[in-house]
Amino acid sequence: MSGVPVEESLDYRRLLDAAAAAARATTGQGRVADYIPALAAADPEAFGMAVATVDGELYGVGDWERPFSIQSVSKLFSLALALAHGGDGVWGGVGREPSGNPFNSLVQLETEHGIPRNPFINAGALVVTDRLQSLTGDAAGAVREFLRRESGNPLLDTDPAVAASEAEHGHRNAALAHFIASHGNLQNPVETVLDHYYAHCAIAASCRDLVLAGSFLARYGVRADGTRLMTRSEAKRVNAVLLTCGTYDAAGEFAFRVGLPGKSGVGGGILAILPGRAAVCAWGPRLDQAGNSVAAVAALDALTTLSGCSIF
């Protein structure tokens, strides 16, 4: 952490109010995702933000308890669970480098023999979902159950309309999965992998739910009940990949502005981690060209700038 000593208490309520003001200043910028038709109905002016500290404090502002489609934010949890169940073997089928290409690009798969560049682009997340399916027998169910337990929200679930919409319009994801399978890098049938991928991406959760579920990374791998999901070293490595790959081909800009590991989704959410301190989630449906929420990035930028807290 820079700027603010770890032992110093932060006024999260004041910081969230300032972050919300920064988000409101972006009104009209960006556009709601419409390539998945079920997402196009999101309120473009909605905004919520929440913080959950490692000491058990919870703060929120705006629509922080309003569920939204978490989309690629779920990839953080599928990766963590795959590592928890399968260890470093997961990395045999997916890399850890930034892609520099859009999240649904097919370009690199051909030259890199069906090994996706990282676990947070769509191709990589399909491989992780495949491995989690082999390890648990129910990849989407494993992600859903983890989110329910960590958030304390038993009603958290997949939105079937969003999942169906993704499947109906998921030609590019199907192409990615078939190409990966053609190189022998899927263990399960393509249709099974796609079904579980769509199901965990279509989970509806709030900023509140996500900061509570993501706090294990702020606690260096320790779950809400005190048990350990992963080692401190594994948590460090997940945070590292989040920093370099979690916001698609805008990861450098996100690190520059926000300075935290984070995972975004085209539903407008971004879950970010302050290691040793807190998890933060901001949500606003309008997206920039890279697929990241304009309001959420602005809010997280304001929070880390005003608090002086980042990993740098």
Q: Work out the average pLDDT over 201-229.
A: 98
| Residue 46 near residue 30, CB atoms below 8 Å | no
Catalytic residue among 32, 59, 61, 72: 72
Confidence of residue 1 (pLDDT cuts 50, 70, 90): very low
**Is there a catalytic annotation at residue 105?**
no
**Is there a catalytic annotation at residue 54?**
no
Q: What is the pLDDT of residues 141-193, one digit of tens each?
A: 999 999 999 999 999 999 999 999 999 999 999 999 999 999 999 999 999 99
Q: What is the pLDDT of residues 245-291, one digit of tens each?
A: 999 889 999 999 999 999 999 999 999 999 999 999 999 999 999 99
Domains, in order of start, for the chain = 12-307 (3.40.710.10)
Confidence of residue 4 (pLDDT cuts 50, 70, 90): very low
CA atoms within 13 A on the CB side of 181: 16
**Is there a catalytic annotation at residue 266?**
yes
Task: Give the rounded distance of the alpha carbon of 81 from its chain centre.
Answer: 13
**Tokens matching residue 200:** 């965990």
Residues paired with residue 205 on neighbouring β-strands, in sequence order = 68
**Is there a catalytic annotation at residue 59?**
no
Strands (E), the chain: 31-32, 48-53, 58-62, 68-69, 157-158, 203-205, 262-264, 269-274, 278-283, 286-287
**Is there a catalytic annotation at residue 75?**
yes
Q: Work out the average pLDDT over 95-119.
A: 84
Catalytic residue among 241, 266, 280, 297: 266
Among the ranges given (28-32, 106-110, 189-193), the one the predictor scored with the smallest mean pLDDT: 106-110
Model pLDDT, residue 110: 81
Scored b (16 or more CB within 10 A) or e, 213-238 reads bbbbbbbbbbbbeeeebbeeebbebb
